[in-house]
Amino acid sequence: MSERAYNGPVLDWPSPANESRRRAGSSTTQQKERPAEGRFPLIAFDQIRLSTSPRYRVRGLLPIRGLAVVWGPPKCGKSFLAFDMLMHVALGWTYQGHRVEPGTIVYCALEGQQGFEARKVAFEQAHLETFEGEVPFYLMPATLALVADAAELIAAIRAQLPDGGPPAVVCLDTLNRSFTGSESDDRDMTAYVRAADMIRDAFGCLVVIVHHCGLEGTRPRGHSALAGAVDAQLAVKKLGDGVLTCTVDLMKDGPDGETVTCRLERVEVGVDDAGEPITSCVVRPEVASEGPASALVSKPLPDKLRLGLRALAEVVLNEGTPAPPECHAPLQTRVVHRDHWRDECFRNGALDKEAANPRSDFQRLRQKLSTRCLIGERDTMVWLTGSGA
């Protein structure tokens, strides 16, 4: 294998110590300043320079490069939100107050391809009536098995994008429709992550994967190899009345917790050959502190949910411990094990041990409180969010 010069980013921060060493002009320093070459370059300490290039594609939500997962339960609006956010990137428009670094989007619509045309027209009608010029957004609607097809997909993108320029983002919607094997198998998931990394490395871009949640609704579905590899993880929740939230529950090189609130608005985009209306949805910003999301959270809770929330508050007060880093909970949050909360729910009447399926009852209680943003969960740990609690 022939050697190639290292062209990757380096870090640079000017400091008196660095300048002093450079001025010294010793043979050691001269040796360190030789160009780093080969597949595995060694960069001398004094050559590490701080890059000032942007860190985010969407400030606080999507990194400029790497792997990001947008996840949530079925029919929660995650695909609509991902499309809307990436259209703002393509157009260079600020996204709900978040600065955007514009760039070309390749969107692999692998689930619900038939509805994507209507989604595009809905966005066009809502935002592009007076827009002139080309939108650097490209749809890839073919079936895809990422592990087997990654190299061919990369070649197709290179061949078809204007001037051969690289995309800023490649979106895979969804993981399930581009996956072969078992999502719970470490080898299959690791192979998938490596294939996504191939796309990232080929273009120096961000790869966004739209993904479903597991049965419990507390994390992305499948093996933890995916969560361990991502640079950002965004959770989408449907609150009701068309309102949904998107929260950063993991950002590798930035703060977690950034949230945007939206409303899915159904619109008519045309009429089919049988005379039936064709409908889709557009994403509208929603101010949670004033809009329906806040109203939903503030509604009086049913008795069972109120008792469940009270049980959690009691257990947190008596047994809560500081949240470990892997929970990605807000600072100074105290957490408890889910089983301890469940036991208190049985004790105070929120759950009935004699019910036909108390385990399912507890799962439904958790999901309803989570939907109202009243609790947070990560694996087996749970905590109060403070939203109306």
More confident site: 302 or 372: 302
The tokens for 10 are: 């380096």
More confident site: 185 or 34: 185
pLDDT at 302: 86
At 157 the three-state DSSP class reads helix
pLDDT, mean of residues 103-112: 93
Condensed to tens digits (0 to 9), the pLDDT of residues 319-356 reads: 999 988 776 666 678 899 999 999 999 999 999 988 88
Residue 295: its H or E element: helix 292-298
Residue 60: its H or E element: none
Least Cα distance to 352 among 313, 300, 307 occurs for 307
Angle between helices 146-160 and 186-203 (to 10 degrees): 10
Strand runs labelled E in the chain: 56-58, 62-63, 66-72, 105-109, 137-140, 169-173, 206-212, 232-240, 243-251, 259-271, 277-285, 321-322, 334-337, 375-378, 381-384
Half-sphere exposure of residue 257: CA atoms within 13 angstroms, side-chain side:
9
On the question of pLDDT at 16 being above 50, the answer is no
On the question of pLDDT at 110 being above 50, the answer is yes
The C-alpha atoms of residue 182 and residue 223 are separated, in whole angstroms, by 9
pLDDT at 160: 95
Check residue 47 and report its DSSP letter.
G
On the question of pLDDT at 19 being above 80, the answer is no
The pLDDT confidence band at residue 85, using thresholds 50, 70 and 90, is: very high
| 116 in Cβ contact with 173 (< 8 Å) | no
Lowest mean pLDDT among 10-19, 33-42, 265-274, 280-289: 10-19
pLDDT at 368: 82
The tokens for 22 are: 């450079």
Domains of the chain with bracketed CATH: 1-52 (no CATH), 56-295 (3.40.50.300), 300-384 (1.10.10)
Lowest mean pLDDT among 12-21, 50-59, 108-117, 301-310: 12-21
| 386 in Cβ contact with 380 (< 8 Å) | no
pLDDT at 298: 43
| 284 in Cβ contact with 265 (< 8 Å) | yes
The pLDDT confidence band at residue 386, using thresholds 50, 70 and 90, is: low
pLDDT at 23: 53
Lowest mean pLDDT among 57-61, 85-89, 358-362: 358-362
Q: How high is the mean pLDDT of the chain?
A: 85
- The reported pTM is 0.69
pLDDT at 291: 38
For every residue of 327-338, DSSP letters joined together read: G-PPTT-EEEEH
